[in-house]
Structure 1
Amino acid sequence: MQSLQDAVAEAADRDRFSGVVRLDRAGATELCAAHGFADRAHGVLNTEETLFATASGTKGLTALTVMSLVERGTLELGTTARSLLGEDLPLIADDVTVEQLLAHRSGIGDYFDEDAIDDVGDHVLPVPVHELATTEQFLPVLDGHETVFRAGERFAYNNGGYVVLALLAERASGVDFPQLVRTLVCEPAGMVDTTFLRSDELPGRAARGYLAADGLRTNVFHLPVLGSGDGGIYSTAADFRAFWDALFSGRIVAPELVAEMVRPRSDWPEESKRYGLGFHLHATNDGVWLEGFDAGVSFASLHQPSTSITYTVISNWSRGAWPIVGLLDARLGT
């Protein structure tokens, strides 16, 4: 049988994968390889140390930031959004709670409804992206979306709910959201390279996000200039290896809170999976993962406790990660 390393290399060439793939098992790295270009215009190659955007992979870090504030008594799972929003976002129902927002069971209207978007590369935000540099600046984008269903009634994936969570975390703590994520999640996890970066001033180690498998068009006009609770943090495959180790050893929040976050709260039959609080869950086994997909970004990072398998596939074009993710799942049984 073809080795996994050879199979990944073959798939990367065939599908024009651009990014990094890393696989660890029982604490040992079995595969770590970079492919493609971080900056196509200047011929800068991706490396294992390249920083990539993670899109909705950020939601897991947002959820942990909120749970850390719950652990500290700054928030409660039963805290209502209204208690901190005041008169802002009046269409959010008064009984929507932090827990419902974490579980995508809030019923609030979504500023970025993925089911209504045919191609993320064509989606345009209703305000200039450079005006979205702080969580408070998202208020005009989050406003004006009618409630879809009663709070707690059912599951519906909701990007806006995680920006609302970032806003609640800021207002409850008095600390800017990027700083909260850094001090409450990244530092205890040992995620030394994980941070929010402005897309219009990326450092040399950061990959530009591309809208197609080839060409020079980037995503700089498609996404908020600085990410928030629903997406946008930059990271590395090595940092996500550190993340899973820290999460399940209780170094970010206590093990009993981790257990609550990876406990299935909803079935998601359309995607053949389940969902907890900020984490995707396998339909039948104990696999837990984060994933992100947006213009110029595709990302998945999975940990399966029963097999001690951890993998991360992170790519700087919109659909780059998925062929490699499919290959890994098929070969590893994850």
Structure 2
Amino acid sequence: MVETGPSADWARKQVDLGRVPVAVLGIASSQGIEDVVAFGTDDGRQATVEDHFALFSVTKPITALTVMRQVERGTLSLGESLGAAVPGFGAGRTDTVTLEQLLSHRSGIADPALDAGTPLREALTSAGQAFYAGSLVQYCNIAFEGAAAMAEWADGRTFEDQLLSLAGDTGAGSLTFDAACNPHTVHGTGTAGLDVQAMYRNRHPGAGLFGTAADLLNLGSELLRDSGKAVRPATLAAMRRPRTTEVSHITTRPAPLRHTGLGFQLPANESELLAKGIYGHPGWSGTEWWMFPEQDRCVVFLTNVLDAPDVGVDTNQLFNAVAAS
């Protein structure tokens, strides 16, 4: 195992400077996993490369890949209305919320708290309207419950069964919504007012997955190969196409601005980066999963601190280290 190099040095530095207690850094190519290293100790627990972490919003592109399998099979369309799959949704709304809008944060659904005790499908059905669908961009977790509901409506299997099928097909077999996998404790939840155990119980398709570096690296390697085991090449190309470049954003975190495809995020200011065409997703818990098609690289960074950028974790530094290595 190689424990030196720009990317590994960057991950080690985040632990050494006390920004995060533990970190796992992994690199893969289209040929498979190249390197995984672990650093740090948290309350006596030594980080290892096999550890599960709470992925938070890294869940979103995995959910989107799962749902898009139904689109490429012809059982769903991106223009399909959420109201068709969830008849109680949108009472009083005069607009139509589509699957494309759900996956690109343009649904206009008012987002309930991640740790709310209301069952997700009920929370989706009763959610208010923040704006007319398609007119603005606002990050929305509950929209991915809507996308999951549409996948169930189209296929008949539970959404979790569909996602685990994707995971099994792509070497990501330890992805799970089950907190019994012994993930690392997430720090900062008290300050943020998040009841993380309540969030875990929701098994949220926008934020609830747990996974290992190998899970994300294997899935990322499959996306780089673009062989169709995850989704077909045309489907992946559509998911990487930005859907929010000409639409105003409502955001409480203006930097770094990222545009959204279908489930995937795309850096908006590529002038700060050595690589072009990067796509992937960050998680609130400090997790990162990104593909670099031009460099044939996937990078995974797993840690366990909410709002890691606020304590100095600069992922643009990581992106440039990956691109140059």
Please state which band the TM-score falls in when normalised by the shorter chain: 0.7 to 0.9
Equivalent residue letter for 2:292: Q
Structure 1 position 254 matched with structure 2 position 232: yes
Alpha-carbon distance, 1:309 to partner? 2.3
Q: Which of these residues, 163, 185, 190, is aligned with residue 171 of structure 2?
A: 190
Query: Could you report, residue by residue, the CA deviation over 1:223-270 in whole angstroms, capped at 9, with x for unpaired residues?
Result: 241422211111111221111221241221110111000011112873
* Cα distance in 2 for residues equivalent to 1:331 and 1:13: 18
Matched-pair contact (CA < 8 Å) for 1:89–1:142: no
- For the residue of structure 2 that corresponds to 1:312, the secondary structure is strand
1:23 matched to 2:4 = no
**1:209 Cα deviation (Å)?**
2.5
The corresponding residue for 2:213 is 237
1:155 paired with 2:137, answer yes
Rounded to whole Å, the distance in 1 between the matches of 2:139 and 2:95 is: 20
Task: State the one-letter code of the partner of 1:286.
Answer: G
- The counterpart of 2:188, out of the listed 203, 206, 211, is 211
Check conservation: 2:11, 2:24, Cα contact below 8 A: no
Per-residue deviation, 1:19: 2.7
The structure with the greater share of residues assigned to helix is: 2
Number of aligned residue pairs: 300
Q: Match of 1:138? A: 120
Higher alpha-carbon deviation: 19-28 or 236-245:
19-28
Equivalent AA in structure 1 for residue 257 of structure 2: S
Rate the CA distance shift 1:97–1:52 in 2: closer, same or farther, 3 A: same
Structure 1, unaligned stretches of length 5 or more?
113-123
Which amino acid is the alignment partner of residue 36 of structure 1? G
1:306 equivalent to 2:294? Answer yes
* Aligned partner (choices 317, 321, 325) of residue 331 of structure 1: 321
Please provide the CA RMSD for this pair.
Answer: 2.9
1:30-109 aligned at under 5 Å gives the runs 31-37=35-41, 40=43, 43-90=44-91, 95-109=96-110
Q: Equivalent residue for 2:273?
A: none
C-alpha separation between the residues in 2 aligned to 1:218 and 1:164? 22
Equivalent residue in structure 2 for 1:276, among 252, 261, 264: 261
Cα offset for 1:48? 0.2
Provide the rounded CA distance (Å) in 1 between the counterparts of 2:171 and 2:35: 21
Relative to structure 1, is the Cα distance of residues 93 and 229 closer, same or farther in structure 2, using a 3 angstrom cutoff?
Answer: farther
SS in structure 1 of the partner of residue 216 of structure 2:
helix
Residues 82/306 of structure 1: CA separation in 2 closer, same or farther (3 Å cut): same
Sequence identity (%): 27
Separation in 2 of the partners of 1:300 and 1:260?
22
| 8 A contact 2:115–2:195 mirrored in 1 | no
Structure 1 position 316, deviation (Å): 2.1
AA aligned to 1:230 is G
Instruction: Specify the alignment match of 2:157 in structure 1.
Output: 175
Q: Are the equivalent residues in 2 in contact too, given 1:107–1:149 (CA < 8 A)?
A: yes
Q: Report the equivalent of 2:148.
A: 166
Please state whether the residue corresponding to 1:140 is helix, strand or coil.
Answer: helix
| SS of equivalent to 2:294 | coil
**Which SS does the other structure have where 2:223 is aligned?**
helix
Displacement of 1:311 after TM fit? Answer: 0.9
**TM-score w.r.t. structure 2 length?**
0.81
Which residue of structure 2 aligns with residue 316 of structure 1? 304
Query: 1:104·1:161 contact (CA, 8 Å) conserved in 2?
Result: yes
Q: What letter is aligned with 1:68?
A: R
User: Is residue 2:264 matched to residue 1:288?
Assistant: no
Query: Matches of 2:164 and 2:9 in 1, distance apart?
Result: 37
Deviation at 1:173, TM superposition (A): 2.0
Question: Which stretch of structure 1 is more off in the superposition, 141-150 or 231-240?
Answer: 141-150
Q: CA deviation at 1:310?
A: 1.7
Amino acid at match of 1:229: P
